[in-house]
């Protein structure tokens, strides 16, 4: 077989990635993923090589705990057969390749712009001219919302096709948040600049993204982390999960007008993020994770504070969760709302909690463990209905699970970090990939260096890149008034998608 | 019903009694303090990811600082962070913290537009525009209204429509793709109206300054009423800044 197999956080000489002829590349990637629910594409991207585009595809195998990588080189103006026509989970990746490099596809089902990046191939395509799907019917009507939404949230434009109150179709247009993140990773040369960029990819997933960046950087630089750093990063990841899940439960209650839940979950989040401030000076943990060293080693005093905070948090959290599972007024809004089936989730390549809401077991902590997850014997929380209520239950159970992990971890805090600060020198002509399980799901960072050890390409993938389509499909046949709660229960990232 | 009463009882009182004097827990990275110690100034300037540090005298521009602590880590005797969250001001120059000077950042009362207190002193409705904000400032602005901070006690509130608003709060470095929608939101807000920039990215572009994908012409051509530094802004920094602007 013409692919190489590596594990998470491993880097290899870029020359060892096989280069295949495109049609074979296509057949192989489809063969690897079709009828293999345990495998999915974690990253498929291209980069310029003179007049050509070098395509690299990375398929993760959750049972083997490996990532299979292959590549193909195609001419810039090529028109290719698409992967998407045979496996729809590739659709977004191919749209991105089309938008960035002008590569055409003969049989792509939905070849539309993804984010209107500054360096897109077709400069004449502008965000205000996005080609929305239009129904052309006298009975149906279209509802447009955004890009500036009613709440304090990021921008995106949603176009609903409705039959009265019923949503038949929703198209989500993104790209408003495009800041040129991937390009800036190349332009900015200092590690602190690049780390700050990683921290700013999605401010609600600072730990998830900065951890992926750091592991990738260390793997490209050949650095092995000490036990304390692995411990601190894992701990921080679980605290971030508790904070955001709790905040989202507040938002979900707001969207069904359940004021008590909204206030209580809202205030329960406060001590958790304040703990980040006690640890590193910032409520959203910016500054806590650094490649090459650990600036804020965890200690006994912090452990004591964290236990105090969790002891106060847990009973109130459980009490509030019990209430929302008891009230007919909340349950009637949660159950069978925004539902997706297993087959749909699998076909579009959903990841993270949005996959786990309906038996699709995708969790990097278990399938491609990093940090100290192996020693925690993590078992993903899986639900079976794929509706808003499943997403509520996942958040609740994951919060309690994370608290359990933290309590276990705090029984044995490793000694303070021994190694000093290292600014990793990247190996030349090397490919590296890093996966972490943020609270939304799988975060992927990958990079290739040139012969001087300078970055040639830096790629970032937020779980939202896979999951926005899940939201669009979930609201079909729902009332339009149920959209906000469905949306909040996924809580996808705009800037993480737009980059 | 009883269960609900029990939950309410368990909540106790969660609001911060005095938002104007509240202290933040832990090692909050607020306003930095720069000592007069002699250091390699070139190296100090060089360590900063956003060009916030300049020499003669050594200063940190809070409008550019992302509070990454790199300067503190490398030059511990020179720079340190205080827990002072009072960093908001209405004059861009006042965001520049100079060595040897250790006072809170304040507003310049001379240049607060007179109609602001008169019209909005009792009630200020704001429309938030996330213009490529990374959702951290957005989360903190949301937190301003929660039961802990309860900004609504001053009549300051975020509203859903620019038509109901007295001004806009911008977060993010302003992407090219958001420049148009931002202008439309501003135009849809009735006059007189104010503009608040929340967070380092909004004030200067932060780490995104100079990216080809951002467009900051809106900032250049409009009068800014309040700058609130932070990465993200702390709710107390925001609430106190707005209260000072309103003369509360
Ligand atoms: S803390 Fe601020 S001034 Fe210091 S290096 Fe970071 S961004 Fe620059």
How many helices (DSSP H) and strands (DSSP E) are in chain B? 9, 10
Which protein residue has the closest C-alpha to ligand 1 atom 7?
B65
Nearest CA in chain A to B164: A150
CB-CB contact of A431 with A11 (8 Å): yes
CB pairs under 8 A between A and B: 204
Residues in B closer than 8 angstroms to A177, CB to CB, are 130, 132-133, 172, 175, 177-178
**How many whole angstroms from B81 Cα to the centroid of ligand 1?**
10
| pLDDT tens, N- to C-terminus, chain A (499 residues) | 699 999 999 999 999 999 999 999 999 999 999 999 999 999 999 999 989 999 999 999 999 999 999 999 999 889 999 999 999 999 999 999 999 999 999 999 999 999 999 999 999 999 999 999 988 888 999 999 989 998 899 999 999 999 999 999 999 999 999 999 999 999 999 999 999 999 999 999 999 999 999 999 999 999 999 999 999 999 999 999 999 999 999 999 999 999 999 999 999 999 999 999 999 999 999 999 999 999 999 999 999 999 999 999 999 999 999 999 999 999 999 999 999 999 999 999 999 999 999 999 999 999 999 999 999 999 999 999 999 999 999 999 999 999 999 999 999 999 876 667 888 899 999 999 999 999 999 999 999 999 999 999 999 999 999 999 999 999 999 999 999 999 999 999 999 999 9
CB-CB contact of A186 with A455 (8 Å): yes
**How many whole angstroms from A452 Cα to the centroid of ligand 1?**
29
A178, B140: Cβ pair inside 8 Å?
no
Ligand 1 pocket member B76 (CB < 6 A): no
Of the pLDDT bands very low, low, confident and very high (cuts 50, 70, 90), residue B58 is very high
Point out the ligand 1 atom lying closest to the alpha carbon of residue B72.
Answer: 4
Peptide bond into A147 cis (omega under 30): yes
Q: How far is B129 from chain A (nearest CA, A)?
A: 7
Nearest CA in chain B to A197: B207
Of the pLDDT bands very low, low, confident and very high (cuts 50, 70, 90), residue B92 is very high
Q: How far is B10 from chain A (nearest CA, A)?
A: 7
pLDDT per residue over B111-124, tens digit each? Answer: 999 899 989 988 99
Question: What residue spans of A281-382 are helical by DSSP H?
Answer: 300-326, 328-334, 342-348, 353-356, 364-367, 373-376
What is the pairing mode between strands A141-145 and A157-163?
antiparallel
Tell me the three state secondary structure of residue A469: helix
CB-CB contact of A81 with A23 (8 Å): yes
Q: How far is B29 from chain A (nearest CA, A)?
A: 5
Residue A190, H or E segment: none
CB-CB contact of B199 with B137 (8 Å): yes
Q: What is the ipTM of this complex?
A: 0.95
Give the angle A68-A216-A208 at the CA atoms, nearest 5°: 100
pLDDT (0 to 100) of residue B8: 78
pLDDT (0 to 100) of residue B26: 85
Residues in B closer than 8 angstroms to A119, CB to CB, are 212
Distances (CA, A) of A6 to A66, A150, A218, B14, B179: 6, 45, 16, 50, 43
Mutate which: A200, A295, A420, A438, vs B, most B CBs within 10 A: A200
A278, B139: Cβ pair inside 8 Å?
no
Q: Which of B10, B131, B139 is opposite residue A204, by nearest beta carbon?
A: B139
Nearest CA in chain B to A200: B134
Buried b (16+ CB within 10 A) or exposed e, A347-382: ebbbbbbbbbbbbbebbbbbbbbbbbbeebebebbb
Choose the residue to mutate in B30, B44, B48, B206 for probing ligand 1, maximizing ligand atoms within 8 Å of C-beta: B48
**How many whole angstroms from B136 Cα to the centroid of ligand 1?**
18
Ligand 1 pocket member B34 (CB < 6 A): no
Distances (CA, A) of A53 to A26, A56, A449: 15, 10, 16
pLDDT (0 to 100) of residue B18: 85
Nearest CA in chain B to A187: B211
Q: How far is B122 from chain A (nearest CA, A)?
A: 22
**How many whole angstroms from B165 Cα to the centroid of ligand 1?**
34
**How many whole angstroms from B116 Cα to the centroid of ligand 1?**
33
Phi and psi (nearest 5°) for A9? 65, 20
Choose the residue to mutate in B60, B62, B201, B203 for probing ligand 1, maximizing ligand atoms within 8 Å of C-beta: B60
Q: How far is A128 from chain B (nearest CA, A)?
A: 9
Sheet order of strands, A430-437 included: A11-13, A430-437, A442-449, A455-461
A203, B136: Cβ pair inside 8 Å?
yes
- Where in A104-234 does DSSP place strands (E)? 104-105, 141-145, 157-163, 166-173
Ligand 1 pocket member B69 (CB < 6 A): yes
Give the span between the Cα atoms of B163 and B168, in whole angstroms: 11
Q: Which of A150, A153, A270 is opposite residue B130, by nearest beta carbon?
A: A153
Residue with tokens 């002008």: A102
pLDDT (0 to 100) of residue B61: 98
Give the span between the Cα atoms of B144 and B81, in whole angstroms: 23
Q: Which of B27, B141, B175 is opposite residue A178, by nearest beta carbon?
A: B175
pLDDT (0 to 100) of residue B13: 77
A196, B207: Cβ pair inside 8 Å?
yes
Q: How far is B111 from chain A (nearest CA, A)?
A: 29
Tell me the three state secondary structure of residue A282: coil
pLDDT per residue over B120-168, tens digit each? Answer: 988 999 999 999 999 999 999 999 999 899 999 999 999 999 999 999 9
Which protein residue has the closest C-alpha to ligand 1 atom 2?
B65
pLDDT per residue over B188-246, tens digit each? Answer: 999 999 999 999 999 999 999 999 999 999 999 999 999 999 999 999 999 999 999 99
CB-CB contact of A94 with A101 (8 Å): no
A316, B11: Cβ pair inside 8 Å?
yes
**How many whole angstroms from B174 Cα to the centroid of ligand 1?**
21
A193, B146: Cβ pair inside 8 Å?
no
Ligand 1 pocket member B52 (CB < 6 A): yes
Average pLDDT over residues B10-28: 84
Phi and psi (nearest 5°) for B67? 60, 40
Give the span between the Cα atoms of A370 and A368, in whole angstroms: 7
């Amino acid at each position: 077989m013409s692919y190489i197999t590596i594990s998470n956080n491993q880097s290899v000489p870029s020359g060892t990635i096989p280069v295949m002829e495109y049609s074979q590349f296509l057949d192989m990637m489809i063969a690897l993923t079709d009828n293999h629910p345990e495998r999915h594409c974690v990253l498929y991207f291209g980069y310029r090589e003179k007049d050509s585009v070098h395509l690299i595809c990375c398929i993760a195998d959750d049972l083997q705990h490996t990532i299979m990588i292959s590549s193909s080189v195609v001419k810039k103006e090529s028109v290719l057969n698409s992967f998407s026509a045979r496996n729809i989970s590739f659709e977004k990746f191919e749209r991105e390749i089309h938008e960035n490099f002008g590569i055409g596809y003969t049989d792509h089902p939905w070849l539309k712009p993804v984010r209107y990046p500054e360096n897109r191939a077709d400069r004449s395509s502008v965000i205000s001219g996005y080609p929305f799907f239009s129904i052309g019917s006298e009975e149906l009507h279209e509802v447009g919302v955004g890009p500036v939404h009613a709440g304090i949230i990021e921008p995106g434009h949603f176009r609903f096709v409705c039959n009265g109150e019923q949503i038949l179709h929703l198209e989500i247009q993104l790209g408003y948040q495009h800041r040129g993140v991937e390009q800036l990773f190349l332009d900015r040369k200092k590690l602190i600049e690049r780390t700050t960029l990683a921290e700013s990819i999605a401010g609600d997933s600072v730990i998830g993204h900065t951890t992926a960046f750091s592991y990738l950087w260390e793997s490209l630089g050949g650095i092995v982390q000490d036990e304390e750093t692995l411990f601190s990063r894992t701990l921080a990841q679980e605290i971030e999960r508790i904070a955001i899940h709790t905040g989202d439960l507040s938002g979900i209650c707001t969207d069904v007008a359940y004021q008590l839940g909204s206030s209580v979950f809202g205030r329960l989040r406060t001590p958790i993020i304040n703990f980040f401030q006690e640890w590193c000076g910032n409520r959203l943990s910016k500054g806590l994770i650094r490649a090459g060293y650990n600036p804020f080693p965890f200690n006994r005093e912090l452990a004591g504070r964290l236990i105090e905070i969790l002891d106060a948090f847990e009973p109130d959290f459980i009490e509030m969760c019990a209430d929302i599972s008891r009230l007919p007024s909340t349950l009637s809004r949660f159950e069978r709302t925004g539902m997706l089936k297993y087959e749909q989730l699998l076909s579009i390549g959903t990841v993270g909690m949005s996959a786990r809401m309906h038996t699709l077991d995708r969790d990097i902590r278990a399938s491609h463990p990093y940090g100290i997850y192996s020693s925690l014997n993590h078992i993903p929380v899986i639900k079976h209905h794929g509706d808003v209520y499943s997403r509520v239950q996942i958040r609740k159970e994951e919060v309690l699970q994370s608290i359990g992990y933290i309590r276990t971890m705090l029984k044995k805090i490793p000694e303070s970090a021994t190694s000093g600060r290292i600014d990793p020198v990247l190996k030349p002509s090397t490919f590296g990939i890093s996966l972490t399980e943020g609270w939304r799901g799988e975060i992927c960072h990958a990079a290739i260096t040139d012969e001087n050890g300078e970055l040639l390409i830096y790629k970032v993938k937020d779980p939202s890149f896979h999951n926005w389509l899940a939201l669009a499909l979930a609201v079909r046949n729902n009332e339009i008034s149920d959209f906000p709660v469905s949306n909040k229960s996924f809580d996808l990232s705009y800037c993480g998608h737009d980059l | 019903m009883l269960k609900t009463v029990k939950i309410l009882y368990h909540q106790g009182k969660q609001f911060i009694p005095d938002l104007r004097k509240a202290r933040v827990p832990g090692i909050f990275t607020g306003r930095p303090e720069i000592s007069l110690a002699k250091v390699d100034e070139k190296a100090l300037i060089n360590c900063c990811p956003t060009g916030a540090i300049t020499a003669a005298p050594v200063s940190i521009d809070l409008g550019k600082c992302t509070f990454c602590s790199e300067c503190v880590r490398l030059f511990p005797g020179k720079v340190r962070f205080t827990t002072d969250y009072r960093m908001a001001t209405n004059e861009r120059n006042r965001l520049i913290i100079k060595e040897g000077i250790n006072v809170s950042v304040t507003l310049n009362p001379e240049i607060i537009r007179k109609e602001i207190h008169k019209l909005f002193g009792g009630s200020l409705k704001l429309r938030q525009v996330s213009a490529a904000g990374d959702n951290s400032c957005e989360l903190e602005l949301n937190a301003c209204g929660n039961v802990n901070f309860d900004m609504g006690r001053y009549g300051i509130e975020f509203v859903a429509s620019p038509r109901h608003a007295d001004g806009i709060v911008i977060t993010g470095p302003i992407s090219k793709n958001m420049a148009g929608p931002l202008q439309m939101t501003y135009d849809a807000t009735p006059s007189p109206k104010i503009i608040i920039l929340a967070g380092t990215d909004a004030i200067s572009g932060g780490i995104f300054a100079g990216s080809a994908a951002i467009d900051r012409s809106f900032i250049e051509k409009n009068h800014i009423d309040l700058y609130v530094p932070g990465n993200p802004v702390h709710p107390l920094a925001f609430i106190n800044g707005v209260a000072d602007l309103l003369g509360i």
